[in-house]
Structure 1
Amino acid sequence: MTAADTQAPQQARPVAGRTLRDVCGLFVTGVTVITSGTGEAAAGTTVNSFTSVSLEPPLVLFCLHNESRLRSVVETTGAYAVNFLASHQEKTALAFAGKSTAAITDVAHHASVTGVPVLSDALAFLSCRLVNAFDGGDHTIFVGEVLELGVPRQSQEPLIFFRGFLGALEEEPRGVHPIFDG
């Protein structure tokens, strides 16, 4: 054992929010619009913090800023839909991304089994019943059970988010590699 092995670890410095955002921007994500509410209370917002959680039971999650206008809609409705956007839907992503966004009535949509709107032109969708919400710092983590799903646009490419920009995949995947979930 050397003297270096016995020294106490250096104290970590606080991570700046902007630096964290820049580094996490190097992780390619898909782009979704989360929709919730019914009737005139229906609303949506663009989100890239989405992931699957479990196959049995079928659970997914997404995160919303605590000050998001959609937060209270999801909590009140108890349901939401995750709409995966296709590469040609950049304008839709931007329309739902700001503080003052498009209205659900501005886009083609239909009601899901949970009653919340699904964007009819989405690449795919998951309609979920809210099962839990967790504090996540300045965000709330919403976990939902998938009750309905669909893939109406199977032959289209997804819209992706990388380094702060929206875009499309540039080329076809070169092979399928299994992902092992451990």
Structure 2
Amino acid sequence: MGMPEAQPRIASVAAAPDFDAMHFRRTLSQFATGVTVITTRASNESVAAGAPPFIGITASSFNSVSLDPPLVLWSMATRANSLPMFRDGTHYIINVLSASQLDLCQRFATLKGDRFAGVDYRLSATGLPILSNALAWFECHNRSRYDEGDHVIFVGEVERCGVLDGKDGPLIFQGGQFTTTAPLDL
């Protein structure tokens, strides 16, 4: 009988990364993600100062969490100007963009001012914008928020959701490029 092999020691804290931020970003980019626009109501103070009544941001950090209760998550940079409105608001809408909505993705990622000007939408049960022709949407109660690193993770409890049965596939972001899905020949 031989001696048992020594087991590696498991540290109670994470080791310092052996890579830089650019390498980490490039590595993360290999994971394909869908693209969403998250919408909510602007604060009363900003509307009183002449800002539009709604705000929206492009986010690719969306994921499911639980079926029972129905929970989803997404994250937002702590440096984002609109963070207080999402953090303090009671509800938001997650709009899953179709491949034909690249213009909306770019508009809500970069445009200053009224991002909703000329955008077709309808109001949800809580009075928030659901973008027309989004492949799917989730109306969420702002259940919890977690500060982690340079982002805040939002967990939403889905109160209502809908899906559009369209021919257009989802807008996908991978490797620094936008694409869509295509079936594999199996």
TM interval, short-chain normalised: 0.7 to 0.9
The CA distance in 2 between the partners of 1:133 and 1:104, in whole Å, is: 26
Give the Cα–Cα distance (whole angstroms) in 2 for the partners of residues 13 and 137 of structure 1: 14
1:44 to 56, 78, 81: 56
2:35 matches 1:31: yes
Distance 2:114 2:56 in 1: 8
The higher radius of gyration belongs to: 2
For 1:85, the equivalent position in structure 2 comes to 97
Residue type of the alignment partner of 1:25: S
Over 3 Å counting, the alpha-carbon distance change for 1:7 and 1:55 in structure 2 is: closer
Q: Measure the CA separation in 1 of the matches of 2:76 and 2:31.
A: 18
**Number of the residue aligned with 2:150:** 138
CA deviations 1:94-125 (Å, max 9, x no partner) are 11112736512331111112222111121111
Supply the distance in 2 between the matched residues of 1:174 and 1:68 (Cα, whole angstroms): 42
Are 1:95 and 2:99 an aligned pair?
A: no
- Which letter maps to 2:59? V
Between the aligned partners of 1:58 and 1:26, the Cα distance in structure 2 is 28
- Normalising to structure 2: TM-score of the pair? 0.82
Residue 164 of structure 1 and its aligned partner are, at CA, apart by: 1.1
CA drift at 1:41: 3.0
Q: Which residue of 2 aligns with 1:116?
A: 128
Q: Which residue of 2 aligns with 1:127?
A: 139
Gapped regions of structure 1 (runs ≥ 5): 176-182
Change (3 A) 1:8 1:99: farther
Is the alpha carbon distance of 1:27 and 1:121 closer, same or farther for their aligned partners in structure 2, counting shifts above 3 Å? same
- CA shift, 1:83, in A, is 0.5
TM-superposed CA distance for 1:70, in Å, is 2.6
Give the secondary structure class of the aligned counterpart of 2:103. helix
Aligned partners of 2:108 and 2:54: how far apart in 1?
Answer: 13
Contact 1:121/1:153 (CA < 8 Å) preserved in 2?
Answer: no
Q: CA RMSD in A?
A: 2.5
What CA distance in whole angstroms lies between the structure 2 residues aligned with 1:163 and 1:67? 24
Matched, 1:57 2:62: no
CA distances 1:63-82 after superposition (whole Å, capped 9, x unpaired):
00011123112123221111
Q: Which runs of 5+ in 2 are unaligned?
A: none
The separation in 2 between residues aligned to 1:12 and 1:76, in whole angstroms, is: 34
